[in-house]
Amino acid sequence: MESSQENLFDQAMSRYQAGADAAEILPLFIQITEAAPRQSAGWTCLAWLQLLCEQPEEALRSARFAVKLNPQDPQARINLSLALLETDSKGVRDHIQVVQQVLTMAPEVSDDLKGALEDGMQRRPGWKALEKVKTWLNL
């Protein structure tokens, strides 16, 4: 069962990376998180897709769960920061500071984060919250 979930995750990621629309991939990640609720990567991806589809309340729930499962994941923290900004919630600074600490201790992750942020800007042009986070992180 676990390998079929990994396979579904890999297939969904491949489709996304090939340029599939976020709204098309979103149901797959809902299915992935329902089948493997303790997999932080699934929740991180789901939150990102929900943000791209302008579902900030749903993204906030997913991102909070992703951070709870893996507090050191900088992408999960970025997603949570974005969802907090888009829902006018408090706590953004704390998550940005954690991402900055991770980038200081593991600078090799900055290229992946830059790529994700650029992807977000292309898929959702004019995304104000993402522009703020990108500036704060100096990426």
pLDDT at 7: 86
Specify the pTM. Answer: 0.93
pLDDT of 1 > 60? The answer is no
pLDDT at 139: 86
For residue 112, what are the CA distances in angstroms to 89, 109, 116? 26, 5, 6
pLDDT at 33: 96
Residue the block writes with tokens 């522009």 = 131
What tokens appear for 24 in the block? 């098309």
Residue the block writes with tokens 């100096």 = 138
| pLDDT digits 0-9 by tens, 41-92 | 999 999 999 999 999 999 999 999 999 999 999 999 999 999 999 999 999 9
